[in-house]
Structure 1
Amino acid sequence: MKAKLGMSPIAWWNDDLVELSDDVSLEECLRQSRSAGFTGMEKGRRFPDDPDVMLPILKAADVTLCGGWFSGTLVDEDLATNQARIQPMIELFKAVNAPCIVYGEVGRSIQGKRDIPLAHKPKLSGEEMKAYARKVTQFGEWCAEQGMPLSYHHHMAAVVETEAELDAFMANSGEGIPLLLDAGHLAFAGGNVLRAIDNHHARINHVHVKDVRMDVINKLDRTRQSFLDAVALGAFTVPGDGSLDFGAIVQKFADYGYEGWFVVEAEQDPKPNPPLRMAQVGHAELMRVMTAAGYTVETQGFPNR
């Protein structure tokens, strides 16, 4: 079985908490992650939107674009509005041969609002969830028809946060919307990561290997503290530095024959947690557990073409 290891630039530049950002260029971010062993990087705010500009940067760093976040609003807005906003991203991702676009629902979400506590996250009724799931499926099918698959990201402080909400979303959506399984977000929400993989492995096309510090999470006052408060306190980290058993998680993916990207997305304060050092820790842990699970990790970065 083959796997690829990527990172998210959120370890270097945090879009929601600018104070949790390292003052490095895109080129330096790519250089550091590649030196740690990662061959892919998801798109961040310092990436150019012109493929003619992006491709030479990726080639020079020997890194491929392995995904990127789209802020969807389908819970409130119509398909046409979201189609118009994502179309340029589809064309860009096709031009640089990215595997998928990560769909993150921001409609009604409090994930970027530091003044709203976690306990006030949006919730959908059963009928609302059914309608939402069908709508996202339509959107996913349309994006695939344009030549770029989506990967749905369940997320803290959003309408699909808990394991029960994920199960409901998956039960009412279709194959047209694949799933991004994020171990850290599911664990933060109190879910069982291994059970979620068992239940939804057939639809998983992208994986975020985010670790968590459960001692930080367990001390949160969710009636007063927000998702961004939790991030600033250090709720997230890289594999090998947190509370999750990635040996068991990666083995579970191997058991179902998952082949594809495992992306480290670990936002935290770069001052006490230097991104290069954390990238090295995460890569070493992933190589350890992936080798044990029987994976061959691809070492080629920018594709030869």
Structure 2
Amino acid sequence: MFNKLKNGLKKSREGLLGQFTGLFSRASIDENFWENIEEALIRADIGIGATTKILNELKNQAKKLNIKNPEELKDLFKREIVKILTVKNDGVINKGSLNILLLVGVNGVGKTTTLAKMANKFINSGDKVIFAAADTFRAAAIEQLQEWGTRLGVDVIKHQRGGDPAAVVFDAISAARAREADIVLVDTAGRLHTNINLMEELKKIKKVTLREASDGTVKTVLVMDATTGQNGISQAKLFNDALDLDAIILTKLDGTAKGGIVVAIEEELNIPIWFIGVGEKPEDLQDFNPQEFVDAFFE
């Protein structure tokens, strides 16, 4: 699995983040060294906040430990990134209770495909899954989810296109109880985070879910496209303000040379990342492990 992660992050590792190997091989630590590190961090989409935190800590440690060789800072550098990425995580599902996971996000981030990959993981772990086709807006969205349901052997609760998505979730929760399912995965319509009416619809879906699943576990999960870079941070902030997010799933990480966006997300939002997508295959949706993620860049 580590090799799959490493291969999936190849573009990031060989891109801007790959610069760091050369930077830490310099002859001495001077002002030019710090400026080059700062520039590389920002260009890698790590963000101003995380960059400042990392640089300050490295400078403090270099002074405290009297470090003169940049190579000696490399492990400290990796450790600081791991610290930022290590966010309190209560886990994906709560065994012994009905789990309803609402997947939200803007258009085109891969919500439905991600939902199917999650279902595959849960099924392989012995959980029974139900799909709620709450994207009643996009053409062919229900059919796409139905196709995934057929492939995976998952029941799909659906209404007609244009129906009330909150009503779909209501029926899915009822069906999950009747069929003794463990997890309901809710596919919602992609929407612009700046569209107030559409965000209000999402709030309604969550309100109905919390009411109907009061004895279960409800979590709201933002699916983000890693290739959007820093623009994704503003998306996430608005979704979090509206819905109080529980977790993030980062897709298409194999398609960007700026993998530092993962660090920026955790520094800015402090919301756990559950999974990262590093390819098209079901097994390419991987559990996010901060130490393995950093090692995959620098090994």
Tell me the TM-score normalised to structure 1 length.
0.36
Name the structure, 1 or 2, with higher relative contact order (CA <8 Å, separation 6+). Answer: 2
Tell me the TM-score normalised to structure 2 length.
0.37
Choose 1 or 2 for highest CA Rg.
Answer: 2
